[in-house]
Amino acid sequence: MSAAPSATSVSSAPKRSLWSRLPVVHQLRQSMGLQRGMLIAGLIITTVFVLTAIFAPVLAPYGYSQLRDADGAFGAQQPPGGSHPLGTTVSGYDVLSRVLWGAQTALFVIIVAVVLSIFAGVFLGLVSGYFGGWFDRIMVVVSDAVYAFPSLLLAIVMSIVISGGKSNLIGGVFAAAISITVVFIPQYFRVIRAETVRIKAEAYVESARVLGASNTRIMFRHVLRNATRTLPLIFTLNASEAILTLAGLGFLGFGIEPTAASEWGFDLNKALSDVTSGIWWTSLFPGLAIVLVVLGITLVGESLNDLADPRLRGRRAVAQAAGVVAQTSVVPGGTLAAGPGGLGGLEDAVTLPSDGLEAGS
């Protein structure tokens, strides 16, 4: 804490301290009223989720694939109560333990998927937007094609490729993560490319070039640093989508085997037949876990998006004073337009700079 402000005070006095420039902290200070409530609620849920994932081995009463303890087998479809507060599944697993362990799988998949897609997407977007030309054209057409396609179907195809449709142990988790990665790359690509094309025309890039900076240096030092302001937002959007895609894959039977790890979508798939006979606890709890986590992350993402858009920030009076302001929000329609189908509203953000490119070339 103490090191951060001193480091910044050396570089320049009027700059805000590093602490307040951290992505979420800054927005939290900026927010007010309802928006602040939503942001805080989202942050709390997300924190609880992350902590649950980390401490799942401590919190869960049993292992995720445990079928019996010292007293014998758990028994299938036991109603909640006694030693199983949330009951047991049709295969005889403890529902509470499966739900808690599931957080770990979800977090792991989110991290792998988002990190991989950020690296690939940011790199491709940067190179494509900076150099332009035929490579850029092809990349844009390909990413548009992939982007328009139902992401779940793409993830299914990918998981067939990676694991042949069967997953086991850690490989299954990676297969799911990589399947989701492929779906996300076009989204990062589009955003970063659009930003790169815009920044490329800025005066400071021009002057860096005049000073003789190499393309690599300009790309990573001048363009990349300025193009990443939207990343935290897309990160939150994709994290929630990653959970939904993982659950969807699991629900269709492409998930992770119950002996390898616990996965909410898979559990819901197994609970499908339970519902008809009125057994509610096997589906309700894994489902609620998915809803809560996605809700938490989306609340954070949506608040960040609104705070980035002056027209939606703050109260009515402020918004009216702002009038028609240049669209700074990453997702013009709001994050929900960017729901499971992808970042819907990004369409607009991308067309503008690409028009500029047409004129320039």
Partner 1 sequence: MTSVTTRSAPPRALGRKKRPASDGGIGRYILIRFLLIFPTIFILVSMVFWLMRTTGDPITAALGGRLGPEQLAERISAAGYDRPIFVQYIEYLGQIFTGNFGTTISTNRPVSEILLTYGLATLELVFYSLLVAFIVGIPLGMVAAYWRDKSPDAFLRVFAILCYATPVFFSGLLFKLVFAVWLDVLPVSGRASTGAELQMQVLPNETGLYTIDAIRTGDPGVLIDVLQHAVLPALALGLLTAGVFLRLVRTNVIGTLGTDYVDAARSRGVSEFRLVRKHAYRPALIPIITVIGLQIALLLGGAVLTETTFEWKGLGFMLSEFLKARDFVAVQGIVALLAVIVALTNFVVDIIAALIDPRVRY
Where in 89-148 is the site for partner 1 (CB under 8 A)?
141-142, 144-146, 148
Output the six-digit token pair for 16: 């805000």
Q: Which of 24, 38, 59, 213 binds partner 1 (CB under 8 A)?
A: 38
Q: Which of 63, 171, 341, 356 binds partner 1 (CB under 8 A)?
A: 341
Name the residue among 251, 248, 249, 289 with its Cα closest to residue 270: 251
Name the residue among 323, 326, 325 with its Cα closest to residue 353: 326
Report the nearest approach of partner 1 to the CB of residue 276 (Å): 6
Which range binds partner 1 by CB under 8 A, 91-99, 169-177, 205-213, 331-339? 331-339
Query: For residues 217-246, which are near partner 1 according to CB under 8 A?
Result: 240, 244
Query: For residues 260-289, which are near partner 1 according to CB under 8 A?
Result: 265, 268-269, 271-272, 275-278, 280, 283-284, 287
Q: Which of 23, 171, 340, 356 binds partner 1 (CB under 8 A)?
A: 340
Total number of residues that touch partner 1 (CB under 8 A): 72
Furthest-apart CA atoms within the chain: distance in Å: 77
Which range binds partner 1 by CB under 8 A, 6-14, 121-129, 228-236, 295-303? 295-303
Q: Tokens 């490729």 appear where?
A: 161
Q: Which of 342, 349, 353, 357 binds partner 1 (CB under 8 A)?
A: 342
User: How many CA atoms lie less than 13 Å away from 54 in the CB half-sphere?
Assistant: 6
Continuous H helices in the chain: 3-11, 18-21, 23-30, 33-54, 56-59, 95-131, 133-148, 151-163, 169-200, 203-210, 215-217, 224-227, 231-249, 264-276, 281-308, 316-322, 346-360
Closer residue to partner 1, CB minimum distance, 22 or 138: 138
Q: Which of 121, 232, 248, 255 binds partner 1 (CB under 8 A)?
A: 248
Report the nearest approach of partner 1 to the CB of residue 312 (Å): 7
Query: For residues 296-325, which are near partner 1 according to CB under 8 A?
Result: 298-299, 302, 311-312, 315-316, 319-320, 322-324
Classified as helix, coil or strand, 336 is helix
Name the residue among 265, 243, 250, 270 with its Cα closest to residue 88: 270
Query: For residues 142-181, which are near partner 1 according to CB under 8 A?
Result: 142, 144-146, 148-153, 156-158, 160-161, 164-165
Closer residue to partner 1, CB minimum distance, 74 or 251: 251
Taking 3-state DSSP, the helix, strand and coil percentages for the chain, each rounded to the nearest 5, stand at 70, 0, 25
Q: How far is Cα 144 from Cα 120, in angstroms, rounded to an integer?
A: 16
Report the nearest approach of partner 1 to the CB of residue 56 (Å): 21
Cβ(334)–Cβ(305) below 8 Å: yes
Report the nearest approach of partner 1 to the CB of residue 297 (Å): 9
Which range binds partner 1 by CB under 8 A, 59-67, 88-96, 101-109, 332-340? 332-340
Computed from CA positions of residues 85, 90, 94, 99, in that sequence, does the dihedral angle turn out positive or negative?
Answer: negative
Interaction between residue 50 and partner 1 (CB under 8 A): no
Q: What letter would DSSP give residue 218? A: I
Closer residue to partner 1, CB minimum distance, 5 or 334: 334
Which range binds partner 1 by CB under 8 A, 1-9, 68-76, 122-130, 333-341? 333-341
Q: How far is CA 338 from the centre of its chain?
A: 12
Q: Tokens 């969807």 appear where?
A: 248
Interaction between residue 67 and partner 1 (CB under 8 A): no
Cβ(287)–Cβ(251) below 8 Å: no
